Amino acid sequence: MGINFEYLLNSLPYMGKGMLGIFVVTAVVVMVVNALNSLPDKKNKK
Amino acid sequence: MDVLYENLLTLNWAQVAMWAIGGVLIYLAIAKEMEPTLLLPMGFGAILVNLPNSGAAAVIEHLFEIGINQHELFPLILFIGIGAMIDFEPLLTNPKLMFFGAAAQFGIFFTLCMASFFGFEINDAASIAIIGAADGPTSIFVANMLNSSYTAAIMVAAYSYMALVPIVQPPIIKLCTTKAERKIRMNYTGKKVSKRTKILFPIIITAIVGMVAPDAVALIGFLMFGNLIRECGVLNSLSETAQKVLANLITIFLGITIASRMTAAEFLRLETLLIMGLGLVAFIVDTFGGVMLAKIMNLFFKNKINPMIGAAGISAFPMSARVVHKLGLEEDNQNFLLMHSIGVNVSGQIASVIAGGLILAFLAK
């Protein structure tokens, strides 16, 4: 235990990859939900 | 007569200190009503396992082995109940709210770096960081999968800060926003979401997250299974059982099982204080991340977003959404942000599981 710059530098890529990963997955989910919402509602059609 | 006091002679100061910590947890649970369903069993369990030569320690350790250590059974089953409790409709009516949930996970990755900076090994740093998921089962699941040696401290921090959301978040939100921004009104259209969408949503989310982060598919799968039971419309009895009986039963076992990690030797370490501090950092940066994304989006969108709703992306369902709604009413008694903040809040629930899954994908191999 103690201040460790090397550990910090090694962990930085996880921050970048992690945040990028979350936003990419979220974007896919948003697109899918938008697609689901745009499907015509059978009840409304009748 | 020796029998009456010979066990007492083996008592040491560290065990007494753990009784005090257990007592504080019980006090917070009862007097302050802070996450009482978990802090009370954890507090009592902390006393139980720190009695000299406690005969209960082995039983609780066995519960830990079968309920958490082997396949993370308790947190996963609890997720069925949580999934059955969540109504995703506010999110499905306005899916772009999901981005706030994503941004509010920034605290997790920031804290991962900070914990590494303070010398924690990467698996422990990631386990500490997941406190920022503001979601107990996810924290337990990830910390256990990464074999962290600080599980108890992580659990106590996660549940304590979840209970402290109404105290932690408002000053951060106010620091990050102007009065004018906090007064921004948002219309809620309340579009109807079809039953088909509500049924397909949990199935598709499970498939997407499962493909990206297979180690977390159990977590998202059990959450979405609970939600599917709720939304399918033909399993109302199971849905009610999952929301109430199942969730309550598992919560009872979970709290006291976590206490198996609260022995004096494991808990009374300098690192515990550091973990509590880092957990607070995670919550603060999560809040900051969500609010900042809303402010950035306001630079580009004509229909302005009240940046406070970004803070609800921290998960901590539903306290965080209520905090934002209350802050909105404080600024303008006609500004009703609840439906927007609930939408962001449930998206935070999903995003925190995705974050946990990504961390496992990076580190659990």
Residue A46 has pLDDT above 60, yes or no: no
Specify whether the CB–CB gap between B223 and B209 falls below 8 A. Answer: no
What single letter denotes the amino acid at residue B171? Answer: P
Read off the pLDDT of residues B137-159 as tens digits, 9 standing for 90 and up. Answer: 899 889 988 988 888 889 888 88
Read off the pLDDT of residues B50-93 as tens digits, 9 standing for 90 and up. Answer: 998 888 888 998 998 898 888 889 989 999 999 999 999 888 99
The residue ranking higher by pLDDT, B315 or B336, is: B336
Residue A42 confidence (pLDDT): 63
Read off the pLDDT of residues B249-302 as tens digits, 9 standing for 90 and up. Answer: 998 898 888 888 888 888 888 888 899 999 999 999 999 999 999 999 999 988
Range(s) of the domain holding residue B282? 2-363
If you write DSSP's letter for every residue of B95-110 in order, what string do you get?
GGGHHHHHHTTHHHHH
Q: Do A15 and B270 touch (CB under 8 A)?
A: no
Q: Once rounded to an integer, what is the mean pLDDT over residues B192-198?
A: 89
Residue B109 confidence (pLDDT): 96
Read off the pLDDT of residues B330-360 as tens digits, 9 standing for 90 and up. Answer: 998 888 888 899 999 999 999 999 999 999 9
Report helix, strand or coil for B269. coil
Structure tokens at A14: 């996880």
Q: Please confirm whether the linkage preceding B318 is cis (ω < 30° from 0).
A: yes
Residue B209 has pLDDT above 60, yes or no: yes
Lowest model confidence (mean pLDDT) among B20-24, B56-60, B171-175: B56-60
Q: Once rounded to an integer, what is the mean pLDDT over residues B195-206?
A: 93
Q: Once rounded to an integer, what is the mean pLDDT over residues B83-112?
A: 92
- Give which of B261, B258, B283, B252 is closest to B111, Cα–Cα: B283
Contact list, B117 vs chain A (CB under 8 Å):
3-5, 7-8, 11
Residue B50 confidence (pLDDT): 92
What single letter denotes the amino acid at residue B238? Answer: L
Q: Do A11 and B122 touch (CB under 8 A)?
A: yes
Q: Once rounded to an integer, what is the mean pLDDT over residues B5-32?
A: 89
CA B248, chain centre distance (Å): 16
- Give which of B354, B35, B78 is closest to B216, Cα–Cα: B354
- Give which of B122, B108, B102 is closest to B284, Cα–Cα: B108
* CA pair distance B110, B165, nearest whole angstrom: 19
Q: Once rounded to an integer, what is the mean pLDDT over residues A11-36?
A: 93
Summary mean pLDDT of chain B: 90
pLDDT band at B187 (very low <50, low <70, confident <90, very high): confident
Residue B365 has pLDDT above 70, yes or no: no
Report helix, strand or coil for B322. helix
Residue B268 confidence (pLDDT): 86
CA atoms within 13 A on the CB side of B241: 6
Candidate from A8, A26, A36 with C-beta closest to B98: A26
Nearest CA in chain A to B129: A15
Q: Which long-range contacts (CB under 8 A, 24 or more apart) does B124-127 make?
A: B124/B148, B124/B149, B124/B150, B125/A7, B125/A11, B126/A14, B126/B359, B126/B362, B126/B363, B127/B151, B127/B154
Candidate from A4, A26, A34 with C-beta closest to B117: A4
Contact list, B121 vs chain A (CB under 8 Å):
7
Interface of A with B (CB under 8 A): 1-5, 7-8, 10-12, 14-15, 17-19, 21-23, 25-26, 28-30, 32-34, 36-37, 39, 41-43
* CA pair distance B182, B166, nearest whole angstrom: 17
The residue ranking higher by pLDDT, A45 or A14, is: A14
- The share of chain B scoring above pLDDT 70, in percent, equals 99
Q: Do A8 and B117 touch (CB under 8 A)?
A: yes
Residue A43 has pLDDT above 80, yes or no: no
Count contacts between A and B (CB, < 8 Å).
123
Candidate from B96, B109, B363 with C-beta closest to A19: B109
The residue ranking higher by pLDDT, B202 or B259, is: B202
pTM above 0.80, yes or no: yes
When scoring B110, B111, B117 by the number of chain A Cβ atoms within 10 A, the one with the most, hence best to mutate, is: B117
Q: Angle at the Cα of B291 (from B288 to B296), degrees rounded to 5? A: 115
Candidate from B91, B99, B112 with C-beta closest to A11: B112
When scoring B89, B96, B110, B116 by the number of chain A Cβ atoms within 10 A, the one with the most, hence best to mutate, is: B116
Q: Do B113 and A12 touch (CB under 8 A)?
A: yes
Q: How many domains does chain B have?
A: 1
Contact list, A33 vs chain B (CB under 8 Å):
91-92, 95, 98, 197, 201
> B236: buried, middle or exposed (CB in 10 Å: 19+, 13-18, 0-12)?
exposed
Lowest model confidence (mean pLDDT) among B82-86, B189-193, B305-309: B189-193
Read off the pLDDT of residues B226-243 as tens digits, 9 standing for 90 and up. Answer: 999 999 999 999 999 999
